[in-house]
Amino acid sequence: MASQDGQNQKHRGFPGFLPGYPDPDHNRPTVPLNSRKQVLLPPLPPPVNLPPGLEYLSQLDLIIIHQQVELLEMILGTETSNKYEIKNHLGQRVYFAVEESICFNRNFCSPLRSCTLRVTDNTGREVITVHRPLRCTSCWCPCYLQELEIQAPPGTIVGYVVQKWDPFLPKFTIQNESKEDILKIVGPYATCGCFGDVDFEVKTINEKITIGKISKYWSGFVNDVFTNADNFGIHVPADLDVKIKAAMIGACFLFDFMFFEHSLAGL
């Protein structure tokens, strides 16, 4: 009888939660981002009126993007294609993204390079395609600035991320498939981080209300100096349109290229 009571105590869990239920405070990842044990989520049945493959985005208010460490970059110092794991707040992998680009562009046009990022689910199905053309990025050049095209599924445009000229702050606009402005993203004066997180605030069009943020998490001195591997968190309302969430994932890739591609940029 005593052993049975002990087992009941062991599996009882917190009051009001089922045994094994995760901690409800999930503003930051609850598992190490570099955990070797990968937990893959199976695909969900597609809800009505959602682009196929984006079902999990409808449930998330925190999206973790973890760039994989490239040993070849560490050893040879060459720029390789970026790879990203996209996870939920429990560290379970939902999507995987791979950059397609030319070696010449990666090494000679590094932060500005044109590329395509293909995002697949855990069955290998491509669900999001992000196209980035070669464009300018300088605050001194008010024309031909950065722009991304987001497709979900591939071949169907669902949104754009467009850089807006500003002499002091990095500013971007999230647009729908008709190129109508939906949200704005405003970054800080300095993106160096100074041994801390860098936050890009997601705001309404008039910039009066902040509804979320895209954060570049500081991953530590050693990682930032010797690798380009970055960790990002996208904090948004859970009921935000999944097409806008997909565009914000594309925006996160763009910020990585523009501001954190070089090893010392993340300090």
Cα–Cα distances in angstroms (integers) from residue 66 to residues 87, 100, 145, in the given order: 8, 18, 26
- φ and ψ at 169, to 5 degrees? -115, 145
Given this model, what pLDDT does residue 96 score? Answer: 97
Given this model, what pLDDT does residue 9 score? Answer: 46
CB proximity list for 187: less than 8 A, separation 6 or greater: 169, 170, 171, 172, 198, 200, 201, 255, 259
Mean pLDDT of the chain: 79
Cα–Cα distance between 163 and 73 in angstroms, integer?
29
Is 250 in contact with 242 (CB distance < 8 Å)? no
Domain ranges in the chain are 64-261
Does the pLDDT value for residue 151 go beyond 70? yes
Omega within 30 of 0 (cis) for the link into 153 = yes
Express each pLDDT in 194-222 by its tens digit: 667 899 999 999 999 999 999 998 765 44
Is 231 in contact with 65 (CB distance < 8 Å)? yes
Does the pLDDT value for residue 266 go beyond 50? no
Given this model, what pLDDT does residue 143 score? Answer: 74
Express each pLDDT in 55-105 by its tens digit: 989 989 999 999 887 666 556 666 678 899 999 999 999 999 999 988 766
User: Which H helix or E strand runs over 52?
Assistant: none
Nearest CA to 120 among 84, 67, 156? 84
Q: How confident is the model at residue 192 (pLDDT cuts 50, 70, 90)?
A: confident
Query: For residues 14 and 80, which has the higher predicted lDDT (pLDDT)?
Result: 80
Given this model, what pLDDT does residue 39 score? Answer: 64
